[in-house]
Amino acid sequence: MMRRRIPWVRHAVLLVVSAIMLLPFYWVLKTAITNENIYTYPPRLLPLDPHPYNFVDVWYLIPFPRYLLNSIIVSVLAVVGNVVLNAMAAYALTQNFRAKKLVVLLLLSCMLIPFQATIIPAYLITARIGLLNSYLGLALPLLSTIICIFIYKSAFEAVPRSLVEAARMDGLSEWRIIAHVLLPLSRPAIATNVILAFIWSWNSFMWPLIVTRDADMQTLPLGLARFLSYMEDTTGALYAFVCLVLAPGILVFLMAQSAFIRGLTQGATKG
């Protein structure tokens, strides 16, 4: 009898915790569809006179479609870069070569360096190759990320070695082994790469702030900062903007959620 009750208790606790965690999102959405101030006291749980006009204001008062397009282009570049380049790097790390441990150690130690510390050299390199104020320049630091390389590496290592050897004996080149053998068997790792690359590039603020020159090249987080400077208050339009910035990331995450969790946990229980 006791055992039967436990799942319900667990579910009830999880529901309460979920509600608490979702409350800030709900409050942002509620403020976005009303003209209430977020600090209104006493707070009202349900929206009063909901309307979509704050979203319309955001769309037209600033060049929102342009920012959206820029963010989409940069995120797509980052996602493609991560999926392709990380797979190549991870495949190399699954091979045996001299100083492999040193390379792995180097990559791991690079993860300890905060991005802010590398901004100046990254800027100088981007300027030297003439990519400032361009989409490729905006996506450049996010084209490959070390943590995603290791996610691929653990996924590739989970593929039986005999399968790769058989493919090699059948005459497949290394490129085709990655594309036709390893990647189709590593879908959770691909999904994890897609989500992480998308969210990191979508939310990126500091790098776009530094490399963009024209307002036309700015991405959504920069647009949000600009909008905030115009609308120095805590009313609907600002929160409508926040909703519009958040929505694509949440959508991509929800679409790849299960594969994402599998991708992160794959290899976690290996010895």
Partner 1 sequence: MSRAPRWLLSRWVVVPGTLLLLVLGWNIHVAANATGVVRGRVVDSAGQPVAGATVLLFERSFVVNTEKQRTTSDPRGRFRFEGNASHAVQLQAEAPDGARSDRVTLRLLFRAQDADLPSPLVVEP
Q: Residues interacting with partner 1, by CB under 8 A?
A: 51-53, 56-57, 59-61, 230, 251, 255
Mapped to the 3 state alphabet, what secondary structure does 111-133 carry? CCCCHHHHHHHHHHHHHHCCCCC
- Kindly tell me which of 109 and 257 has the beta carbon lying closer to partner 1: 257
- Least spacing, CB of residue 190 vs partner 1, in Å: 11
- Least spacing, CB of residue 155 vs partner 1, in Å: 19
Q: What angle do CA 187, 246, 29 make, to 5 degrees?
A: 135
Amino acid letter at 241? Answer: F
- Least spacing, CB of residue 62 vs partner 1, in Å: 9
- Least spacing, CB of residue 60 vs partner 1, in Å: 5
- Least spacing, CB of residue 79 vs partner 1, in Å: 12
- Least spacing, CB of residue 103 vs partner 1, in Å: 33
- Kindly tell me which of 154 and 201 has the beta carbon lying closer to partner 1: 201
- Least spacing, CB of residue 234 vs partner 1, in Å: 17
Q: Classify burial at 172, counting beta carbons within 10 Å of its beta carbon; exposed 0-12, middle 13-18, buried 19 or more.
A: middle
Classified as helix, coil or strand, 254 is helix
- Kindly tell me which of 87 and 194 has the beta carbon lying closer to partner 1: 194
Distance of CA 94 to the CA centre of its chain: 25
- Kindly tell me which of 59 and 135 has the beta carbon lying closer to partner 1: 59
Number of H helices, E strands in the chain: 13, 0
* Angstrom distance (rounded) from CA 233 to CA 37: 8
Q: Classify burial at 119, counting beta carbons within 10 Å of its beta carbon; exposed 0-12, middle 13-18, buried 19 or more.
A: middle
- DSSP secondary structure letters along 24-87: HHHHHHHHHTS---TT-SS--SSPSS--SHHHHHHHHHTTHHHHHHHHHHHHHHHHHHHHHHHH
